[in-house]
Amino acid sequence: MNLIIYGVNTLKEAVFSGNLKMGDRVYLSEKKLKNGIIDKNLIKLFEEKNINVLTKNDGAFIKDFGREALIKGIAANVEYREKSYEELTGKANADNFPSVMPVYLILDEITDPQNLGSIIRTANCAGISGIIVPKSNSVFITSSAAHVSQGAVFYVDTVRVANISRTIEDLKKRGIWVIGLSNEAEDDIYGMDYDVPLAIVVGSEGKGLRRLTAEKCEKVLKIPMAGSINSLNASVSFAVTAYEILRQRKYAGKK
């Protein structure tokens, strides 16, 4: 699908990941280029990669890329290839464990593109194997999500499935432990051993984990709270859990 991307870091990662390549076009705001706002090192990178750098006046820039892109002063169109669920999980089965130790993230009806972008950025930093979202009642990759992810959309595969419950059952058949996050759970995330193939399920921004989804999970855990407010937003809940998994798997016992 065609994806408008904007902002220095997002375009830089588009180049490094091969999504912006020789012969492609990048557009700059004439005014911001003249005012010295555009990163000259990035323009140099485009020239080295033989990517065409063109300018547009503000009216044309807004028409083609939107006002948010104009604020950054640099934008491009790229082809974003969405992988399938089978492409994402094809090698994940009990026969390959423990040589392959995946951590998938399932987002149960996340609708805010900025939340999705933040989650994708964290997923890349924490080594998540891929993200699974439902085809309905859920946001997918948008320009805003790509920007907030700072280009991580090009490194973390995000796939859509028709039914989250059936997907959870499929993952369990492959030998993957499915863990839901809910502030109503009895056990917390710090009491589990994460040295197993995993899928983490995070609920929507407002309603949290749906009852049917929670029932499909093998375990539902909470993040302990020390303050007056009893919940974190979806992206922060995921980040806290993802880094506890990373800590256990790579840094436990190290000083």
Residue 223: predicted pLDDT: 92
Rounded distance between C-alpha atoms, residue 99 and residue 206, angstroms: 37
In CATH, what number is assigned to the domain containing residue 63? 3.30.1330.30
Is the pLDDT confidence value at 255 over 60? no
Residues 105 and 133 placed together within one structural domain of the fold = yes
Q: Please tell me which residue, 72 or 227, carries the higher pLDDT value.
A: 72
Is the pLDDT confidence value at 38 over 70? yes
Tell me which residue has tokens 């485009």: 46
What is the average per-residue pLDDT within 91-100?
A: 67
- Domain of 28, in residue numbers: 2-79
Residues 14 and 104 placed together within one structural domain of the fold = no
Task: Report which residue type is found at 159.
Answer: V
Determine if the peptide bond prior to 98 is cis (ω within 30°): yes
User: Helix or strand or coil: residue 92?
Assistant: coil
Contact 83, 27 (CB under 8 A): no
Is the pLDDT confidence value at 94 over 80? no
Per-residue pLDDT band for 97 (boundaries 50, 70, 90) equals low
Residue 78: predicted pLDDT: 96
**pLDDT above 90 covers what percent of the chain?**
79
Residues 179 and 201 placed together within one structural domain of the fold = yes
User: Helix or strand or coil: residue 198?
Assistant: strand
Rounded distance between C-alpha atoms, residue 191 and residue 115, angstroms: 27
Per-residue pLDDT band for 219 (boundaries 50, 70, 90) equals very high
Rounded distance between C-alpha atoms, residue 155 and residue 140, angstroms: 15
Contact 181, 200 (CB under 8 A): yes
Strand partners, 132: 106, 159
Residues 55 and 92 placed together within one structural domain of the fold = no
Rounded distance between C-alpha atoms, residue 114 and residue 116, angstroms: 5
Q: What mean pLDDT value characterizes the chain?
A: 92
Asked which of 79, 113, 128 is the last residue of a domain, the reply is 79
Residue 253: predicted pLDDT: 59
Is the pLDDT confidence value at 254 over 60? no
Residues 49 and 95 placed together within one structural domain of the fold = no
Tell me which residue has tokens 């506890």: 244
Rg of the Cα atoms in the chain:
20
pTM of the entire predicted model: 0.92
> What angle in degrees, to the nearest 10, is found between the helix axes of 40-48 and 8-16?
20
Residue 98: predicted pLDDT: 63
Domain count, the chain: 2
Residues 10 and 136 placed together within one structural domain of the fold = no
Neighbours of 31 (CB within 10 A): 15
